[in-house]
Chains A and B, each alone.
Chain A
């Protein structure tokens, strides 16, 4: 004979689960994300000013800053520190370009044992891929709109 709970509708059971689930620490997460994310951006700004003061033109200084931050993200991922930072900072270390670097390098490291073609090559973008696809699509659309509207 079936038990009564077998007939629970998914939304009813969902509600029961929701009442038991531990609540995410939203405020703490937001504050940490704000602080760490802000620090990463401030670090980028310091780099940018340093490159400018070294005599790089503004556009090159921007590229050099992005490149250095990407390198730092990759280095910390390779050392196994970025996941610890990410656990602490959440979106604060995912959203900046260092997080983008982490998502590619972590995937590349993870799938190296499956070879350079179907491992590193194919799996490198499993996390960053959607960002690239929809980022490129959006920029192309905006570019086209700009060309037509102008």
Chain B
């Protein structure tokens, strides 16, 4: 027999709104975490591109004397992580959590890398949005008080991605003009909670310090993550795996517009809004969708996949892609510009096409996602 519930018990329980959340999808950091150190390394093709000088290390050959492409990718991530930690002036034991992902099945490169690094690890997957996902989760964990120091990394490798998602590397086929070129690269950021004091002197071992100085690792303690906008999946029915930009463009537009609504800001509040990686076709689609909602970002909107290569000279068609693309462009190139004061506040929107070869072969359309991160240099933070 069912006993009737008393009216008191059916009263809706009023949960207070999460204190760090504004609007529909945005989280504001109460004490914004800062990027204590960053490191990027790329393959030779990326090194020969227009941003080549901005990366901390350029490999002379993409296999890096490893037995397989996959091992090379894992070694790239491990190197980036260790160097980012050293650039922050920390040692491995200082770091509470490691968040990383890549494009391979079961995020193989990140798992192998995490095995050798030995920091408590969460593997993440967001296709090309992985770096944004890692920075978002890292910032939220830090600001939520769950950790003091977090390292987050993402990597991709042209050869590992080609053989998994497309065709063998040596197959003599033509790539469509809409296809993007998977970046060989890895970027890592060492994030510290807002209240964590600057680098404790001498915590990094002498060996890693020397290594980082030699390789030009970067300590960027004045750049903070102030907002995170977690994206929803957008899917307007795109099915072409050789044209992923338009599959991600609606997600990028959605996250940018939602972020502006949630924060009450305008495009002009940002020095740059940078998506990663829509490529040329996807970026054009994002422009169209934003304009259709009455927001014209003009020259303030660009894309990591468009920036990383010289598309005419390097034969990369619609642009760069892969977790490594936005990771190295953000942590190599854009972080430098923030550090040098060329930019004060940017909105980084990592975009991912969440398809798998299986979903593609079964005729599924491609779910797109985009996560927004606001990076602000400290000098302006106090002015506002």
Which A positions have Cβ atoms within 8 angstroms of B? 3-6, 8-10, 13-14, 16-17, 20-25, 29, 77, 80, 82-87, 89-90, 93-94, 99, 102-103, 105-107, 109-111, 113, 126-127
Contact = CB atoms under 8 A, between A and B. Distances in A.
Contacts of B177: 21-25
A97 to B, nearest CB: 13
Q: Which of under 10, 10 to 19, 20 to 34, or 35 or more describes the interface residues of B? A: 35 or more
B170 A82 contact: yes
A10 B236 contact: yes
Contact of A86 (B172, B178, B281, B284): B172
Contacts of B254: 3, 6
Contacts of B234: 6
Interface stretch (B45-53, B287-295, B344-352): B287-295
B174 interface: yes
Given A5-B292, A8-B236, A22-B178, A86 B173 contact: yes
Contacts of B167: 106, 127
Contact of A13 (B174, B236, B243, B257): B236
Contacts of A99: 172
B171 interface: yes
B168 A127 contact: yes
Contacts of B170: 77, 80, 82-83, 102, 105-106, 109-110
A44 B175 CA distance: 27
Given A3-B257, A13-B236, A87 B243 contact: no
B378 interface: no
A6 B285 contact: no
B174 A86 contact: yes
B118 interface: no
Contacts of A126: 168
Contacts of B359: none
Chain A interface, >50% SS class: helix
27 contacts: A3-B254, A4-B293, A5-B289, A5-B293, A8-B236, A10-B236, A10-B238, A16-B288, A17-B281, A21-B177, A21-B243, A21-B281, A22-B280, A77-B170, A77-B172, A83-B171, A83-B173, A85-B172, A86-B173, A86-B174, A87-B173, A87-B175, A105-B170, A106-B171, A111-B163, A113-B67, A127-B167
A82 B365 CA distance: 33
B320 interface: no
B173 A24 contact: no
Contacts of A80: 170
Contacts of A107: 168, 171
A83 B293 contact: no
B68 interface: yes
B250 A5 contact: yes
B237 interface: yes
Interface of B: 67-68, 163, 167-178, 234, 236-238, 243, 246, 250, 253-254, 257, 280-281, 284-285, 288-289, 292-293, 318, 365
A108 B279 CA distance: 32
Contacts of B257: 3
Contacts of B174: 29, 86-87, 90
Nearest to B159: A110
Contacts of B288: 16, 20
A20 B292 contact: no
Contacts of A22: 177-178, 280-281, 318
Contact of B171 (A14, A17, A20, A86): A86
Nearest to A103: B171
Contact of A94 (B173, B178, B281, B293): B173
B14 to A, nearest CB: 23
Given A6-B254, A14-B237, A21-B177, A87 B281 contact: no
A8 B284 CA distance: 17
Given A20-B281, A22-B178, 14 more contacts: A5-B250, A5-B253, A5-B292, A17-B285, A20-B246, A82-B172, A83-B172, A86-B174, A87-B175, A102-B170, A102-B171, A106-B168, A106-B172, A110-B163
B71 to A, nearest CB: 9
A28 B289 CA distance: 33
Most buried by B among A13, A24, A77: A13
A144 B68 CA distance: 47
A110 B281 contact: no
Leading 8 A-B pairs by shortest Cβ distance: A86-B172, A10-B237, A110-B168, A106-B170, A22-B177, A106-B168, A13-B236, A106-B171
B172 A94 contact: yes
Contacts of A106: 167-172
A20 B284 contact: yes
A113 B176 CA distance: 28
Contact of B68 (A3, A85, A87, A113): A113
